[in-house]
Structure 1
């Protein structure tokens, strides 16, 4: 319904012409449900105008002049005495106009929607896309460089790695004994600041000196190395770094080949302080089996009672058959002395 209910069947007298050349004639103007009807004095309909198309050609002036299409081919004049009809037509025209789609409003709505879409794309998709691209194109040698740069930042907190020459030789033999997917790990024993073990990009694994000095078997150290290798396989260490560093740092890596020092400094602190749960038995046991290392010594190093690591003890892949030694006794003693006693 177009006409407002209080104006239905309102009538007035006006002057109407069917064309620019036609003589004006007096008509009865009726306001109906959705149309304006012009009739002669014998109530014969002469014209029907859709209210949605009616336009006023002289807003604010009298007599009010209306056309059905704004072209002045057909015209209706209402003088001041028909103020109620004029007010009704104007009110209905205003209501119709408010319901029309606004081209400018639609344009701004589309622009806003596009802007929000771009912003959402940038917020949700772009960081992940940058990270995936970086992980795909950064070569292994650059990963090592990034890992070493991160190690330099860590050393500001932990001090330099232990460096007894004979201990380093034994540590290298341990690394050769435990090659990962990308070759032997780069092992470092840190005097302080590292809890258990952590891994860095480039196959670098940092071991706490307590992991080396306060245990009785090299299988324990090997267990920490295997665990970190499995962590790195499940979650790329460089991906963790880039996620913490943010899109800007990732973009810089893609464009310049290096990360900002601030990003490495912040991540070094995060890496040393964040809590980490141990890997589940279903992940650990195949790693011990593949490396030829007993899981029981590592399990008791995690929990001296054995209660929380019972799966690693009972399902030890070498519970009955002894694998080849992780290190010779002499190398194990040298490794335990890597930090100088």
Structure 2
């Protein structure tokens, strides 16, 4: 049997040279289980080459010249018409090569695996890890600074905050009546841009003027203020900023203490177009009870039919009783004129 199962026996005629000083002689070449045997015409074996050690000196050329690994002076030439033997030897060499260990290939795959792991860490772990670290170490004064910077960019699009003196005093009274759980909130009424209401790092709450001018009572604006207070408690406002800003901006904040202008502009644009902050109804109702504010006016402001906000209407903690007034009638009228027209 031969090393190739498709052949019971395979022989060819070739020219063999024992060393560089020897004459070439015609020989019979045969393939066994593990060796290539070179014999004379009397069937006397002249040499045995291990199949695993076969090398070719001139790939793709003819006559094909083979030699045993480690000794290029001993050669075997097979003419082009011995194509079957040449093909058999090449098939054996390819099969043996595939079976050999390839340290370089292993190193390549290991290197690619390491690179893939590093990329995965950068893509999936590093952004959240950097963001979480920033949320732990960024001080309140820096959050306030970031909030002020974002407000400045928002007002470029939404217009300058409404600051009529008497209306501003009334707005401060409303803020004192609805204090932030994390300290004094800064209420800002904008002439446009922001959809209903939004919040920024540092305790800034933005209100669209329509929440004040289009309703007959302050309970609607108060409801939106409460919703933003609760949204800021459920999710750190700075986290939303950093998620939008991305990894590079987060690392820049950690290393330099500054958020890039590009990141701030991007977040300002995002804030003006995003949907209302989501707060579960149970959390909202608990907030209305804690701040002593009716939930029903806020519910109808969100949905005039009351269908979407029916749970807030039915479970209003002040459905049958009146809480402490948010503002006097005069202060409410002043607040409605905070934008001057």
Shorter-normalised TM-score: what interval? Answer: 0.7 to 0.9
Q: CA deviation at 1:131?
A: 1.4
Residue of structure 1 equivalent to 2:327 = 327
The answer to whether the 8 A contact 1:158-1:192 is kept is yes
Equivalent runs, 1:92-111 vs 2, <5 Å: 92-111=92-111
Change (3 A) 1:64 1:204: closer
The Cα offsets for residues 20-64 of structure 1, whole Å up to 9 and x where unpaired, read as xxxxxxx9986344556899xxx9x9x99864x334597799998
- Where 2:153 maps in the other structure, the secondary structure is helix
Q: Structure 1 264/65 Cα, relative in aligned 2: closer, same or farther at 3 Å?
A: closer
Work out the CA distance in 1 between the residues paired with 2:53 and 2:283.
Answer: 77
Query: Residues 54, 165 of structure 1: CA spacing in aligned structure 2 closer, same or farther, 3 A cutoff?
Result: same
Relative to 1, partners in 2 of residues 1:150 and 1:8: Cα closer, same or farther, differing over 3 Å? Answer: same
Normalised to the residue count of structure 2, the TM-score between the two structures is: 0.79
Distance 1:144 1:299 in 2: 31
Measured after TM superposition, the shift of residue 152 of structure 1 is 0.6
Pair 1:290-2:290 in alignment: yes
Displacement of 1:251 after TM fit? 1.5
How far is 1:104 from its partner? 2.1
Q: How does 1:131-142 map to 2 (within 5 A)?
A: 131-142=131-142
In 2: Cα distance, 1:179 partner to 1:201 partner: 16
| 1:37-186 superposed matches below 5 A | 51=51, 53-56=52-55, 87=86, 88-186=88-186
Which whole-Å CA distance do the structure 1 matches of 2:278 and 2:70 have between them? Answer: 82
Is 2:322 aligned against 1:311? no
Q: Is the 8 A contact 1:154 1:269 kept in 2?
A: yes
User: What's 1:18 paired with?
Assistant: none
Deviations 1:183-212 (A, max 9, x none): 231101112222211111111001111111
Q: How does 1:260-299 map to 2 (within 5 A)?
A: 260-276=260-276, 279-299=279-299
- Report the secondary structure of 2:202's partner residue: coil
CA contact (8 A) 1:249 1:259 kept: yes
Q: Tell me how far 1:313 sits from its aligned partner.
A: 0.7
Q: Judge conservation of contact 2:2–2:8 (CA < 8 Å) in 1.
A: no
- The structural deviation recorded for 1:222 is 1.0
1:315-339 CA-to-partner distances (Å, cap 9, x unmatched) read 0012123222222333323222222
Q: Relative to structure 2, which stretch is displaced further, 159-168 or 270-279?
A: 270-279
- SS state at 1:176 partner: helix
Q: Distance in 2 between matches of 1:63 and 1:141?
A: 81
TM-score calculated relative to the size of structure 1:
0.79
Q: Would the aligned equivalents of 1:8 and 1:31 in 2 still touch at CA under 8 Å?
A: no
Q: For structure 2, which runs of at least 5 residues remain unmatched after alignment?
A: 15-26
- Cα deviation per residue 1:107-165 (whole Å; 9 max; x = unaligned)? 22222232232222222222222211211111111111100011111111222211122
> 1:64 touches 1:86 (CA, 8 Å); kept in 2?
no
More off after superposition, 290-299 vs 143-152: 290-299
In the alignment, the residues of structure 1 paired with residue 54 and residue 290 of structure 2 have an alpha-carbon distance, to the nearest angstrom, of 86
Aligned residues: 326
